[in-house]
Amino acid sequence: MKRAGVSPVIATLLLIVIAVAAAVLAYIWIIGYQGTLTQQASAAQLQERIRIETVNYTGSILDVWVRNIGDVQVTITAGYIINATGLTIVADTTLSKSLNPGAVDYVTIPAKGTITLKPGITYTVKVVTSKGTEATYTFTYKA
């Protein structure tokens, strides 16, 4: 009795087709999962928004009034004062001010210590939240 089997060439081709199909299905699943994660991360970050309303320099400290215009509570963790040439003259990463949605409050830069701003010079103030959301405000100091 003669048995007919699948030739080795056809068996190899079938294995290649099965492997390619499995790879395509895995790729489609991974891309879909990655898209879901990206959408979730973007949605959470879009809810956290802040705006600097104004700044007040009194002698040796700078009060930065920040408004939370987002949908979630934010925590201001860093503040920077940058001069007109882009050089950071004060970097304070010890801040910890929480703001509820819609709230306005101030943070003092630097929290400890003093700074000296020169009249007629333009400065940029930047505050950063714990999740990395930033807000900037540019002003020219007038004595």
What domain range includes position 132?
Answer: 50-140
pLDDT value, residue 54: 92
Say if residue 43 is in the same domain as residue 55: no
Q: What is the DSSP string of 25-72?
A: HHHHHHHHHHHHHHHHHHHHHHH--EEEEEEEEETTEEEEEEEE-SSS
Say if residue 71 is in the same domain as residue 83: yes
Say if residue 65 is in the same domain as residue 111: yes
Per-residue pLDDT of the chain (143 residues; tens, 9 = 90+): 667 777 888 889 999 999 999 999 999 998 888 877 777 666 555 688 899 999 988 877 889 999 999 888 999 999 999 888 888 888 888 888 999 999 999 998 886 777 788 888 889 999 999 988 899 999 888 87
- The predicted model scores a pTM of 0.64
- Integer CA distances (angstroms), 85 to 14, 88, 91, 109, in order: 66, 9, 16, 19
Taking the C-alpha atoms of residue 114 and residue 112, their distance in angstroms, rounded to an integer, is 7
Say if residue 41 is in the same domain as residue 57: no
Phi, psi of 106 (to 5 degrees): -115, 155
Say if residue 62 is in the same domain as residue 107: yes
Say if residue 77 is in the same domain as residue 62: yes
